[in-house]
Amino acid sequence: MDTRTLCLAVLTDGPASGYEIKKAFEEHFGYFLDVSHGAIYPALADMREQGLVECEEVRQDGKPDKKLYRLTEAGRTALAEGLARSPGRHRVRSEFVALLIFSEFLPADRIRSLIDARLDEWRGMRELAQCPPDNVSEQRAGVHFAMGLCDAILQAGVDYLERNRDWLESSLQAEAASKGGKT
């Protein structure tokens, strides 16, 4: 999904500055989308020229003026069109998975620490996914559904690592023994 469409999507929650949009990208999309933060401000400028967003400059004491961007009706239409065009790909890019693929070259304690770290991270992410916001009754159905999907994927990952970590370790030891080496 392109930066422009994501900016428009963030603005459906209300007016926001470029910095606030960047924070929303990191908090809401950072785990599953690569977002170019350097592209946010040019996208906002282009969308302003096209009438997709309006910009209000808000004075701040001792700071530069803050630019608050607001979605227009044309912006809502552009968002719907952008979402409709998105192919909806699902890609997983994981250094963790790459390390596991080549785990035969790692010491056993490194593999254990990698798995432990991932388990801790995924359990923490599950806690966040399960925490209903204060305004759960106002939460959009798509947000609720996506959070449930994320929670299910994370739980499946936790379950798989817990069930299979000993198998990986013993299999690597057996492979090393058959080759006359150590892990």
Q: Which domain holds residue 164?
A: 95-178
pLDDT at 145: 86
Report the distance separating Cα 42 and Cα 116, nearest Å. Answer: 40
Count of domains in the chain? 2
What's the CATH code of the domain at 66? 1.10.10.10
The answer to the question of residue 62 being in a domain is yes
Identify whether residues 57 and 129 lie together within a single domain: no
The answer to the question of residue 43 being in a domain is yes
Identify whether residues 104 and 39 lie together within a single domain: no
Identify whether residues 99 and 52 lie together within a single domain: no
Give the list of residues 6+ apart from residue 118 with CB closer than 8 angstroms, or none.
96, 157, 161
pLDDT at 143: 80
The answer to the question of residue 113 being in a domain is yes
pLDDT digit of tens for each residue in the chain (183 aa)? 888 999 999 999 999 999 999 998 887 777 777 777 789 999 999 999 999 999 999 998 988 889 999 999 999 999 999 999 988 888 778 899 999 999 999 999 999 999 999 999 999 888 877 766 555 556 778 888 888 888 899 999 999 999 999 999 999 999 988 987 554
Q: Which of 66, 85, 104 is the last residue of a domain?
A: 85
Identify whether residues 99 and 81 lie together within a single domain: no
Q: Which of 58, 85, 112 is the last residue of a domain?
A: 85
Q: Which of 42, 62, 85 is the last residue of a domain?
A: 85
pLDDT at 140: 79
Residue type, 52: L
Burial letters for 16-53: b for 16+ Cβ neighbours within 10 Å, e otherwise?
Answer: bebebbbebbeebeeeeeebeeeebbebbeebbeeebb
The answer to the question of residue 41 being in a domain is yes
Report the distance separating Cα 51 and Cα 75, nearest Å. Answer: 7
Q: Model pTM?
A: 0.71
pLDDT digits (tens, 9 = 90+) for 142-178: 888 888 888 899 999 999 999 999 999 999 999 988 9
